[in-house]
Amino acid sequence: MSRVELMPFSSIIFFDNKIKEKIINLTSNKLLYEVEFELIRRGYRKCNFIHIDPLRPDAMKIIFENNFHYQVLQSIKKYSGFAHTHYSPNSLEDTLMFTAVCSDKESLSIFANAYFKGDHKTIGEMLGYPKCDIDFFVKYWNEHLDLVYPSAMNSTKEGDVVYFDPRLNIMLRYIGLRIIPHFPCSFQCPNAIKFAETIMDIMREKDSKLVDELLDVLSKPVIFSQVNGIIQVEVYEDKSFTKPLFIIIQSGYSSEEYRLKMIPRWENE
């Protein structure tokens, strides 16, 4: 396996107009983003990372309204989708400010220091993630950067099928659709499910229909594959895998090749 360096990108191809409308509605909903700040307000986490566009600094409003503390960590080049590597911007229009936001000054200082030192353990703890998932991240991050595959390898399998709990479906996060904002150590991890339930409860208080619609999309079978550093997420209506509803194409990080047949299955709590 070798590292593949592509400029980050994310693209989506729709094969069904109804699902297209649904996905556009879901991805434009601010609650998916705002719930991450609500977790700080309610004490489930100390901090969060955000990207602030200097020309459209909407996120500053949330920071000031909540008396959060913040520190710009790095100016980075704008990208679409999901990126693990930061590039330098060429102009202001091209810039995002990668920023730490915390509940208090002391946490901000610890969090920012952990970021500059690459201390993933402290960062994960302050983001409120389960310990098993932090250990999993620390173990696999440097080698893989995208941890869907190692997580699938730790998950329940039957023949060529890997089961996933829809609450832990992070395979659509490239277009911003997910409940949990982190990589679970397996797609059945009880601690990650508990964290997902907390997030869903907060979202339901504000918009329960949104949660149902999100879960509906996250409960669809997926073929998750990678070849030559291109990740492909094919989302199907049912497990006959006949016709995809939509396909996400996302820049990956390694030459590693795999193809996973992912079937949704709810875990009991």
Contacts with Zn ion, residue ranges (CB under 5 A): 132-133, 185, 189, 191
Q: For the chain, what's the residue count?
A: 269
- Closest to Zn ion by CB, 132 vs 145, is 132
Closest contact distance (angstroms) between CB of 189 and Zn ion is: 3
- Closest to Zn ion by CB, 129 vs 174, is 129
- Closest to Zn ion by CB, 109 vs 191, is 191
Beta bridge partners of 96: 76
Assigned token pair, 64: 């000031």
Q: Which residues have C-beta within 8 Å of that of residue 27, sequence separation ≥ 6?
A: 175, 176, 177
Closest contact distance (angstroms) between CB of 150 and Zn ion is: 12
Contact predicate 92/54, CB 8 Å: yes
Compute the C-alpha angle 240/225/14, nearest 5°: 65
Closest CA to 36 of 105, 86, 96, 100: 100
Assigned token pair, 236: 């199907």
- Closest to Zn ion by CB, 195 vs 246, is 195
- Closest to Zn ion by CB, 114 vs 185, is 185
Q: Say which amino acid occupies 240.
A: S
Closest contact distance (angstroms) between CB of 133 and Zn ion is: 4
Closest contact distance (angstroms) between CB of 94 and Zn ion is: 37
- Closest to Zn ion by CB, 175 vs 189, is 189
Q: Which residues have C-beta within 8 Å of that of residue 225, sequence separation ≥ 6?
A: 231, 232, 234, 258, 259, 260
Contact predicate 26/269, CB 8 Å: no
- Closest to Zn ion by CB, 22 vs 139, is 139
Strand order in the sheet with 69-77: 47-52, 95-102, 69-77
246 vs 248: CA distance, rounded Å: 7
Closest contact distance (angstroms) between CB of 135 and Zn ion is: 8
Q: Say which amino acid occupies 101.
A: V
